[in-house]
């Protein structure tokens, strides 16, 4: 005899790995780029119109020198993004509004290149990688039997030597 168990399981997976070029117009004309770092990365998986997206944002900080390297400044900018996942579903499974999306960051946004153009604009190359699991309801079929397992009854244990430590 078989029974069906309804449970939640991973029914699909997706991954995004991309590089973005972000062009910044700074308040001052930089003479030297001194550093770049990215903090406060926030992201979430989203399902809309049959497609799955990663929606997120992070704070980009660029430290630069200006006025012939006599002054420095840190430019701060919040970068928002929406990236589409290519989802592979298990056969027979469907994506729906009730599917749970678990998004994970495999590689946090990182500045891989920082360059200063002749026009004074700064280009920041940002790499990031995200993965996503689609969790939905699925059924398991299990075989059951009518026979009962024999359990050892505690009454069957009748010869316990309580003085085993005294020998």
Question: Residue ranges of the domains in the chain?
Answer: 2-144
Show the tokens assigned to 59.
């704070």
pLDDT digits (tens, 9 = 90+) for 16-71: 999 999 999 898 999 999 999 999 999 999 999 889 999 999 999 999 999 998 99
| pTM for this model (two decimals) | 0.77
pLDDT at 74: 95
pLDDT digits (tens, 9 = 90+) for 124-150: 999 999 999 999 888 889 998 877 666
Per-residue pLDDT at 156 exceeds 60: no
Closest CA to 44 of 129, 103, 105, 107: 103
């Amino acid at each position: 005899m078989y029974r069906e168990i309804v449970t939640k399981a991973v029914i699909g997976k997706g991954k995004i790995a991309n590089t973005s070029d972000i062009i910044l117009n700074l308040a001052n004309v930089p003479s030297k780029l001194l550093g770049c770092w990215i903090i406060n990365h926030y992201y979430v998986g989203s399902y809309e119109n049959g497609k799955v997206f990663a929606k997120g944002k992070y704070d980009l900080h660029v430290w630069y020198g200006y006025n012939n390297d006599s002054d420095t400044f840190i430019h701060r900018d919040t970068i928002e993004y929406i990236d589409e996942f290519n989802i592979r579903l298990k056969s027979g499974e469907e994506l729906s509004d009730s599917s749970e999306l678990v998004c994970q960051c495999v590689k946090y946004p990182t500045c891989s290149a920082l360059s200063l153009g002749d026009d004074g604009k700064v280009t920041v190359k940002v790499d990031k990688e995200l993965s996503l699991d689609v969790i939905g309801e699925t059924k398991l079929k299990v075989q059951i039997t009518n026979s009962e397992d024999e359990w050892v009854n505690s009454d069957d244990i009748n010869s316990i030597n309580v003085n085993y430590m005294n020998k």
